[in-house]
Amino acid sequence: MLLAQRKLGVAQRAHSRAAAPMVARASRRSLRCEARKVALLGAAGGIGQPLALLLKMNKFVTELALYDIVGTPGVAADLSHCNTPVKVTAFSGAEELDACLSGADLVIIPAGVPRKPGMTRDDLFNTNAGIVQNLVRAAGKNCPQAVLEIITNPVNSTVPIAAETLKAMGVYDPKKVIGVTTLDIVRSNTFVAEARGLDMKDVDVPVIGGHAGATILPLLSQATPAVTFTDAEKAAMSEKIQNAGTVVVEAKAGKGSATLSMAYAAARMAESTLLGLNGEPNIYECAFVQSEVVADVPFFASKVLLGPHGVAKVMGLGELDAFETAALQAMLPQLKTEIQKGLDFAKANTA
């Protein structure tokens, strides 16, 4: 497996400390692999192509259906030469979207325009909001039982758009709509490991809130293994994690955004989701989902337990330190505004 063994060990340590990590690994070895169709919407893009490769390597994927406006036949032909048993199919243009989605168990949506230098995630809203709504409508029509994973930014707004769109269709299930914030966790784990000289595979830093700027709140006080930072170091590390996407955009000088790391993070989230769908216990990830964790905030990123129907349980925040408590309160107005923007767009554009 690409990512599962490391995650299972970390999840067991973080959430089932009384149980030996090898229990989950033994269970994974004996787990019967269900046939799973994964639809990747935006498969010819900067995130889509490397993500398609990683999904082609996943033992839980039986069929990988690639969709984009153009370019998918070439991506599928290229991937078909990789000697893994995953069947790859290609679909192009709006007229083939229904066939791509039919029978999918998991739908992953990285489609949309990428961020460019000087742009915020909010600048992407006007274009990407409509793209996400149209793709979610198609998923609600063709595979209403599938788990939807939204990568397209701004996630703080596109996930509410997806939820409201499916509500209008009468097929909304909050357990099955997931905003992928895994890149924030991947970055946090990497940066904390580097700062403290730890083995990266052992580090797990929960990240809560949202997926844009100050709404990204790494819980350094809850890191596994335990680490210690001064308040000044916490502020610097939090800012580094929050601005990591901008660093990549600027480094690529107008030629892309964080595509490779996002593909890696999305593949990790997809693998965890598929493990949950197949009945593997103790699969935890942070994700932006419908939530009651914070009062008056209808969507929020926190640890979730993944299961046979998607999100089995939304976890609480745990004990925050004074720095994290203040940062949480400070970011809530921005998060609420971005959520409401998505809800308003969906309601105004509901057929």
211 noted as active-site residue: yes
Annotated binding site: 42-48, 68, 115, 121, 128, 151-153, 187, 262
Residues in the chain: 351
Annotated binding site for substrate: 115, 121, 153, 187
Name the nearest CA neighbour of 303 among 311, 41, 278. Answer: 311
The residues, ordered by sequence, that sit 6+ positions from 163 with a Cβ below 8 Å of its Cβ are 172, 174, 177, 290, 299, 346
Radius of gyration of the chain (CA): 19
Amino acid at position 140, single letter: G
Please name the residue ranges forming H helices in the chain: 4-15, 21-30, 48-56, 72-79, 97-101, 125-142, 155-169, 182-196, 231-242, 244-251, 260-277, 322-348
Exactly one of 15, 81, 211, 309 is catalytic; which is it? 211
The residues, ordered by sequence, that sit 6+ positions from 120 with a Cβ below 8 Å of its Cβ are 212, 213
Cα–Cα dist 78/290, whole Å = 37
DSSP, collapsed to helix, strand or coil, labels residue 4 as helix
Cα–Cα dist 28/221, whole Å = 30
The residues, ordered by sequence, that sit 6+ positions from 190 with a Cβ below 8 Å of its Cβ are 200
Q: How far is CA 62 from CA 55, 57, 157, 279, 310, in A?
A: 10, 10, 31, 17, 18
Amino acid at position 82, single letter: C
Name the nearest CA neighbour of 136 among 160, 103, 154. Answer: 160
Contacts 24+ apart (CB under 8 A), 71-77: 71/43, 71/44, 72/43, 72/44, 74/44, 75/43, 75/44, 75/48, 75/49
Cα–Cα dist 247/152, whole Å = 19
Residue with tokens 């192509």: 49
Residues with a known catalytic role: 211
